[in-house]
Structure 1
Amino acid sequence: MAEEGVKERTLEETPTWAVAVVCLVLLAVSILIEHIIHVIGKWLKKRNKNALYEALEKIKGELMLLGFISLLLTVFQDNISKICVSQKIGSTWHPCSTSNTKAKAKSDESLDYKTNNDRKLLEYFDPIPRRILATKGYDKCFDKGQVALVSAYGIHQLHIFIFVLALFHILQCIITLTLGRIKMRKWKTWEDETRTVEYQFYNDPERFRFARDTTFGRRHLSMWAQSPILLWIVSFFRQFFGSISRVDYMALRHGFIMAHLPPGHDAQFDFQKYISRSIEEDFKVVVGISPTIWLFTVLFLLTNTHGWYSYYWLPFLPLIVILLVGAKLQMIITKMGLRIQDRGEVIKGAPVVEPGDHLFWFNRPHLLLFTIHLVLFQNAFQLAFFAWSTYEFSITSCFHKTTADSVIRITVGVVIQTLCSVAI
């Protein structure tokens, strides 16, 4: 009975019907997912959503990368688990305190002692070494007075975490795009307003006005705009009341038309549809996971060390960054208004804003998009790590020190998701 409790059956000892059923289910699920992706791709092509189709291709690429990582983890699982390090090195940088680990080991020692001895006897008398896959197997480095670099079971848990992380990242990007498109629905009303007689009269190109008396001027050309500190403070709080107001939308629309279209095309141009296509292009960038982003994933895993208290400060890093990004975007709009006033106190027609690379950090507009991308991924990492650690180790494990820790992770994750959908 003891031998049956620890022995792992190979395929030669497994019923063929069991193998066939498992393979059939896996094939059915894989074919179904591939068919769904194919149908979505055809639907996007039919509606000329080229940017979203390319984003879908990137998702397929990420799934392929995930499958390749899974294959490597499976093939080299035994080789990695056979790499031994000294106990001194193996006892450093643990995610949980050593006292908690030893207490748990003592509580399980009485249950595992007989099983481990039986397993060693089996390995000794078994002419063919048994392959331990995704099980809490015997540590081969123990006899050498060492510990495994990463055990076979630990590699299995890491395998699951990578899958959960990729899943959360893709779902979060889709949610961000969906919330962004919902937000833009009210822009359609503003776009329709530009075709009314009242809008044409108010924005008569032959009309002279003071820049500060325009609606855009009254919003951005106040005294506080002259002070960098006050400008940061006002811009920081403005992002909580909508990233783009009606006044800003009208000014940005007019500035874009004046810069890119010939005169007389104001009424025919749909700026809201153009912005929608631009966001789809940005989504194509955000949904991908670059090598730089994967490097940050490794750094995030490294911070999960006992004594670093990363469960308190790490969730707030993406929140602080996305708030700075939102404030910076508000500042850019205000600075474009200040440039209007610098060109003269009196303007003819509607105020014309002129965006430029110099308004962005380090004169690189794409840096903002990369920052949002990184924030989205780090937020996906936090939520995925919470879900994975809860599934693998339960909600009462050392990965969740207190109830406040869990509440902080979930609350901050939802807030960041909402702010990213506004900023992108």
Structure 2
Amino acid sequence: MAGGGGGGNTRELDQTPTWAVASVCGVIVLISILLEKGLHHIGEFFSHRKKKAMVEALEKVKAELMVLGFISLLLVFGQNYIIKICITEEAADTMLPCKLKKGAEHLGGVLGRPQAPYYAAAAFSPHPHRLLAEANMKAKCHEGKVSLISINALHQLHIFIFFLAVFHVMYSAITMALGRAKIRGWKEWEKEAAGQDDEFSNDPTRFRFTHETSFVRQHMNVLNKTPASFYISNFFRQFFRSVRKADYCALRHSFVNVHLAPGSKFDFQKYIKRSLEDDFKVIVGISPPLWASALTFLFLNVYGWHTMLWISIMPVVIILSVGTKLQGIICRMAIDITERHAVIQGIPLVQVSDQYFWFARPTFVLFLIHFTLFQNGFQIIYFLWILYEYGLDSCFNESNQFVFARLCLGVVVQFLCSYVTLPLYALVSQMGSTMKQSIFDDQTSKALKNWRAGVKKKAPNSNSKHGGHGSPTAGSPTRAAADSGIALT
């Protein structure tokens, strides 16, 4: 690529036809505009449906794409400076992702195996020195030293970032679609549960012991057993009807009675769906700890360390542990009910508490789900990038059977996490000590904010006119919600 030479594959921009430059740029600009318009229309759809959490999640996806775009731009701008950084050949031969081949030129980077295309071409080319000079024309290192990372490796890194951006959006969309599909199936349970509330409230003679209720009977097989059998039973329960009708009705009944007025008309299924959207708004982002975990994987992906194996197993272990814990929380609630030996009317009242969760923090469970989704998605994207760059029979893949098993494991984790564990968390996390903000829709939140602002504004006048006592009803939040025509349904 010597300045403006006439070689067929060495022409620079000043020797390239203008129609070729304009055509390539036009296609890139057109695709970019179509993508931007598509995201804009998706945002308008969510806004029209009053899906505030989904709008915020979409904005977070855009922000992540912008970060990846900045990374790509920095690589383009800094590549001429990066390849001028020289290191010793001994350092370049350490911690390689693939076994070092004798005689290979050190043109690969930390992400790519040691590449030898220029070396192989030079061996059979009438101008070997010219090819090698073109490959390292800007890497002016002294004898015994090589570039920190080559132009070819930087190009491969660019492609990896593109894969990460594209599949991050697709992966997030699949996660949300599966979660919503799971919660959509609870709509019929919500209608039946609302009917049961009316049935038991209008029939005061229907009393029974707690151990006779459907919720407790379904968990009797784990009562009075060893801790090992308790966790084994809950481990397998997450694979077969992770949320049952009796579980849903019991948790719904307890939530309404603890956080709202007993007998309130409340659409719990719709609230869970909004809560899932709030959780999705969290897991769609890539936080600094997740970036650190990705960089740690790239750093430890050394030949012989089997890092690819560990990154495939880790998401499975975490998500199965989380699912077992969530199932165990439901069973623990049933055990607590039986220990009270109470006589109840209708559905038993579950005790709500953060103590059921690890470290008394329900959000820690959400972080583990977030970490699992990111790690699983990252290893799938890494596999697809390797398949594109190096093919199936590359040194990254130990065997085709192992690759197939790892890919199937990634798909299973994605389905299990999105369709089972995340909706289960959205339901069980309502049994914490505090109530989530998503219980209020946008209109209710706006009415409460207006009420608060109105009280602050009227407080000085009320104190001066009534000796420090304001009106007890004129500015109440219930009145503000009623004025806006808002109900809890």
The TM-score, its normalising length taken from structure 2, stands at 0.78
**Are 2:422 and 1:410 equivalent residues in the alignment?**
no
Q: 2:98 aligned to 86, 96, 99, which one?
A: 96
Change (3 A) 1:414 1:205: farther
**Are 2:339 and 1:327 equivalent residues in the alignment?**
no
Question: How far apart are the structure 2 equivalents of 1:36 and 1:374?
Answer: 28
Counterpart residue identity of residue 112, structure 1: A
Q: Find the counterpart in structure 2 of residue 383 from structure 1.
A: 380
Question: How far apart are the structure 2 equivalents of 1:18 and 1:61?
Answer: 32
Question: How far apart are the structure 2 equivalents of 1:165 and 1:101?
Answer: 33
CA contact under 8 A between 1:82 and 1:141: conserved in structure 2?
yes
Identity of aligned residues (%): 45
CA contact under 8 A between 1:169 and 1:376: conserved in structure 2?
no
Counterpart residue identity of residue 139, structure 2: K
| Segment of structure 1 superposing worse, 239-248 or 338-347 | 338-347
Question: How far apart are the structure 2 equivalents of 1:277 and 1:225?
Answer: 37
Q: Find the counterpart in structure 1 of residue 12 from structure 2.
A: 10
* Aligned residue pairs, count: 409
Change (3 A) 1:161 1:217: same
Q: Find the counterpart in structure 1 of residue 256 from structure 2.
A: 257
**Are 2:62 and 1:64 equivalent residues in the alignment?**
no
Question: How far apart are the structure 2 equivalents of 1:13 and 1:251?
Answer: 74
Q: 2:119 aligned to 87, 109, 128, which one?
A: 109
Flag structure 1 segments of 5+ consecutive residues without an equivalent: 123-135
Flag structure 2 segments of 5+ consecutive residues without an equivalent: 106-113, 423-489
Q: Find the counterpart in structure 1 of residue 421 from structure 2.
A: 423
**Are 2:272 and 1:275 equivalent residues in the alignment?**
yes
Question: What displacement does 1:107 show?
Answer: 8.4
Question: What displacement does 1:271 show?
Answer: 0.9
| Segment of structure 1 superposing worse, 336-345 or 244-253 | 336-345
The TM-score, its normalising length taken from structure 1, stands at 0.89
Question: How far apart are the structure 1 equivalents of 2:346 and 2:120?
Answer: 85
Question: What displacement does 1:282 show?
Answer: 0.5
Question: How far apart are the structure 1 equivalents of 2:62 and 2:196?
Answer: 48
CA contact under 8 A between 2:121 and 2:128: conserved in structure 1?
no
CA contact under 8 A between 1:116 and 1:138: conserved in structure 2?
no
Q: Find the counterpart in structure 1 of residue 346 from structure 2.
A: 349
Q: Find the counterpart in structure 2 of residue 44 from structure 1.
A: 46
Q: Deviations over 1:40-59 (max 9, x none)?
A: 11111111010000001011
Question: How far apart are the structure 2 equivalents of 1:406 and 1:49?
Answer: 39
Q: Find the counterpart in structure 2 of residue 216 from structure 1.
A: 215
Q: Find the counterpart in structure 1 of residue 369 from structure 2.
A: 372
Change (3 A) 1:185 1:100: farther
Question: How far apart are the structure 2 equivalents of 1:76 and 1:271?
Answer: 53
Counterpart residue identity of residue 322, structure 1: I
| Segment of structure 1 superposing worse, 162-171 or 290-299 | 162-171
Q: What SS is found at the alignment partner of 2:395?
A: coil
| Segment of structure 1 superposing worse, 395-404 or 218-227 | 218-227
Q: 2:310 aligned to 308, 313, 323, which one?
A: 313
Counterpart residue identity of residue 208, structure 2: R
Q: Deviations over 1:2-35 (max 9, x none)?
A: 9755863222111111111122111111111111
Q: What SS is found at the alignment partner of 1:314?
A: helix
Greater RCO, 1 or 2 (C-alpha within 8 Å, sep 6+): 1
**Are 2:185 and 1:186 equivalent residues in the alignment?**
yes
CA contact under 8 A between 1:332 and 1:359: conserved in structure 2?
yes
Q: Deviations over 1:175-211 (max 9, x none)?
A: 1111111112221111121244697249956643221
Q: What SS is found at the alignment partner of 1:85?
A: strand
Change (3 A) 1:398 1:121: closer
